[in-house]
Amino acid sequence: MIRSMKRILITGACASLALAGCAKKKTTTTTGGGSSWLVGENGLMADLRITGELGAGYDLDDNHDLLGITCRGLDTAFVVGELGTMLRTFDGGDSWEVIDLGTTATLRSVASGGVTWEGAASPGTDSIYVAGDRTLMMSSDSGATWTHLPGEAAHDWLAVAADRTAVTAFALDTAGEVWRYDAAHAAGAMIASLPAARVVTTSRDGAHLAVAGSGDAILRSDDGGATWRSVELGRALELEDAWVTGAGVVVAVGAGGTIARVDAQDAVAITAPATATLRAVHLDSRGQGVAAGDAGTVLTTIDGGATWTQLHLALTGTVLGVDEVSSDGAL
């Protein structure tokens, strides 16, 4: 059930919102890059321009922590957070609706499909997945109706990821188990396990997957989850989020400003371009990306995560989620 949101977002100050990563207005650039929306604690929501500056931001008049965001194309975005919070916009953030999922459980992650470079919808592009405490749900119509996925109530779910079509989704539970959901696995299938994992991520073509968390290794697959291998990082890390590109490069971020980059041949490079814990990361096919976390820390890259530059922005809250607005959606 969807109820109209009393709070209509008009361009305004960032206020206390902690959302970051989805730009409010369409962004056109000569490089093809897009703006980002950042989300986070106490209702933080802000837009980060491709120029590295903050946009006007959004005042949601809400102090619930916002934990995850996914953007689809230039105008559509979905946000989830604590106390069952779920929001959606179809007009680039000019207005938002509250989606009532019938729960007050913490919703930790949301995933959607994408569109092609030409703007055409991919099959299943209206599909959305939401993961949280004893909550794992799927909508095939952009949130109008919802289906509870098998095994939902038996687990607390930390993360969910989907390929471009959103026909296949991968969900991670608190035991570190990765479950695959698609037409061939109607009941869900456990396909991998990594103790103390915090995130599962997939490339937009669904070929590459990675699982990361606390420890000295990550898991990765280059065949859609059919087979997996462990990649040793060289030392124990506390990784909070990760992204895998279509070329099979994994970039994971975590405590102490750590960024671990694992290339397609499993070569590992670990840097710490910041000191604050990084909790969210996003890259696109052009090699541009954003990492963000505690105390409003935001870093950008233009070379696929090989090097990073810290931005000095007027953000004070913790950023917990990030995604890019682009003509082809999240990449």
In whole angstroms, what separates CA 251 from the centre of its chain?
13
Q: What's the whole-number mean pLDDT along residues 226-237?
A: 98
Q: Which strands sit side by side in the sheet containing 209-221, from one edge to the other?
A: 197-202, 209-221, 229-244, 250-254, 259-262, 268-271
Give the whole-number percent of the chain exceeding pLDDT 70.
Answer: 83
Residue 325 has pLDDT above 50, yes or no: yes
Mean pLDDT confidence for 3-25: 34
pLDDT at 99: 96
Q: Which of the four pLDDT bands, split at 50, 70 and 90, describes residue 92?
A: confident
**Taking CA 82 as the corner, what is the angle to CA 79 and CA 88, rounded to the nearest 5 degrees?**
20
In terms of residue numbers, what domain contains 252? 2-324
Mean pLDDT value across residues 163-169: 88
Closest CA to 158 of 144, 189, 182, 179: 179
Q: Is residue 331 part of a domain?
A: no
Query: Is residue 281, in this structure, part of any structural domain at all?
Result: yes
Residue 104: exposure state from Cβ atoms within 10 A (0-12, 13-18, ≥19): exposed
Q: Is residue 244 part of a domain?
A: yes
Measured between alpha carbons, how far is residue 311 from residues 217, 278, 283 in Å? 29, 13, 16
* Number of domains composing the chain: 1
The pLDDT of residue 78 is above 50: yes
- Let me know if residue 316 belongs to a domain: yes
pLDDT digit string, tens, across residues 282-301: 998 888 999 999 999 999 99
Q: Give residue 60's pLDDT.
A: 72
Residue 307 gets which letter from DSSP? S
Evaluate whether residue 139 is within a structural domain: yes
pLDDT exceeds 60 at position 53: yes
Stretch 1-22: mean pLDDT, rounded?
Answer: 34
Alpha-carbon separation of residue 313 from 30, 228, 306 (angstroms): 24, 39, 22
List all residues 6 or more positions away from 113 whose beta carbon is below 8 Å from its beta carbon: 72, 122, 124, 125, 126, 127, 162, 163, 164, 165, 166, 167, 329
Check: CB of residue 251 under 8 Å from CB of residue 260.
Answer: yes
- Give the pair of three-digit tokens for residue 323: 């995604």
Q: What pLDDT sits at residue 326? A: 66
pTM: 0.87
Mean pLDDT, the chain, rounded, equals 85
Inform me whether the pLDDT recorded for 330 exceeds 50: no
The 289-293 sheet, strands edge to edge:
278-283, 289-293, 298-301, 309-311
**Residue 152, SS3 per DSSP:** helix
| Spatial separation of the C-alpha atoms in residues 229 and 222, rounded to whole Å | 9
The CATH number of residue 213's host domain is 2.130.10.10
Q: Tell me if residue 4 falls in helix, strand or coil.
A: coil
The answer to whether position 330 is within a domain reads no
User: What is the maximum span of the chain, computed from C-alpha positions, in angstroms?
Assistant: 50
* Within a domain: 313: yes
* Better pLDDT: 290 or 185: 290
Residue 152 lies in a domain: yes
Task: Give the C-alpha separation, 37 to 14, whole Å.
Answer: 12
Strand ordering across the sheet containing 36-40: 45-48, 19-21, 36-40, 319-324
Residue 181: pLDDT band by 50, 70, 90 thresholds?
A: very high
The per-residue pLDDT for range 241-265, each reduced to its tens digit, is 999 999 999 999 999 999 999 999 9
Burial 250-272 (b: 16+ CB within 10 A, else e): bbbbbbebbbbbbbeeeebeeee
Average pLDDT over residues 262-278: 98
